[in-house]
Homo-oligomer: A and B are copies of this chain.
């Protein structure tokens, strides 16, 4: 699901309008999507294989910590990489408009031709777009490479939000095992609570990305249920 959200974020036609709140909301969605699903399925799987709720809780907490660090730190490093990548490409374009201006001018012309502009307009447009080196580089970055300048403060914020959302999402299904006597009872409550959460979350997530909300709710619940059922089957088979 991360892919789709990332592509929506990158292509947001009005990033300046609602960057902070919307980026944060998307990070919450990314973290919750995985957090509600994987720890739930792992705990469900172990419920069919072990006799002690304590073991389910231990494994569940270990998974939540591992997953939230991997996602959060992974997200942070990916954000840093994006900032470095942008800076490196920017430096390269600045160099290229000075060192190989003819080739860069031809690239501008090619991009305008792809848009559908005729020869005569392109000739004028190329000379306008390449008159000021700053503007020329900005054009290349955006339309040749499709890169928008990333905000360096976004990476640590995203990392924290994704991590926290994963942990919160994971603790919801696991909480059922705290209050029940056996793993089987825990599984029943955990499944009930989590399916409701997945339906509600899938509904709002779809609304957020402008998709049909009821279908989104059902999809989300089906992913969680299938992952849990498969984990349950495998764990029971292995532990025989």
Q: Indicate if the CB atoms of B58 and A49 lie closer than 8 Å.
A: yes
Complex CA gap A81/B202 in Å reads 13
A51 to chain B, nearest CB (A): 11
Partner of A235, one of B1, B33, B61, B85: B61
- A100 contacts across to B, CB distance below 8 A: none
Any chain B CB within 8 A of the CB of A171? no
Within A110-146, which residues are at the interface with B (CB < 8 Å)?
Answer: 115-118, 121, 124-125, 128-129, 132, 135, 138-139, 143-146
Establish whether residues A81 and B231, one from each chain, have CB atoms under 8 Å apart when the complex forms: no
Once bound together, how far apart are the Cα atoms of A84 and B63, in whole Å?
Answer: 34
Q: How many copies does the complex hold?
A: 2
Residue A73 interfacial (CB < 8 Å): yes
Per the bound structure, the CA–CA distance linking A70 and B39 in Å amounts to 11
A50 and B54 CA atoms in complex are apart in Å by 11
Kindly state whether residue A20 has any CB partner on chain B within 8 Å. no
Residue interface bits A41-52, CB-to-B below 8 A is 1, else 0: 110011001100
In the bound assembly, the distance between CA atoms of A211 and B55 in angstroms comes to: 41
Given A38-B67, A85-B210, A129-B117, A77 and B146 contact (CB-CB distance below 8 Å)? no
For A88, what are the chain B residues with a Cβ–Cβ distance below 8 Å?
Answer: 210
Q: Please list 17 pairs of residues, one from A and one from B, whose beta carbons are closer than 8 Å in the complex, sorted by A's number.
A: A3-B82, A10-B10, A33-B74, A37-B66, A38-B66, A38-B67, A42-B63, A57-B238, A63-B63, A66-B227, A66-B228, A73-B227, A85-B211, A88-B210, A116-B129, A121-B121, A121-B128
Measured CA separation A238–B223 after assembly (Å): 29
Q: Give every chain B residue within 8 A of A70 (Cβ-Cβ).
A: 34, 37-38, 41, 223-224, 227
The answer to whether B129 touches A125, judged by C-beta atoms less than 8 angstroms apart, is: no
Cβ of A183 under 8 Å from chain B:
no
**Any B CB within 8 A of the CB of A62:** yes
Given contacts A11-B147, A69-B230, A73-B227, contact A2 B4 (CB under 8 A): no
Partner of A66, one of B1, B41, B81, B211: B41
Q: Distance in Å from the Cβ of A74 to the closest Cβ of chain B?
A: 5
Query: Which residues from 132 to 171 on chain A have a C-beta closer than 8 Å to any C-beta of chain B?
Result: 132, 135, 138-139, 143-147
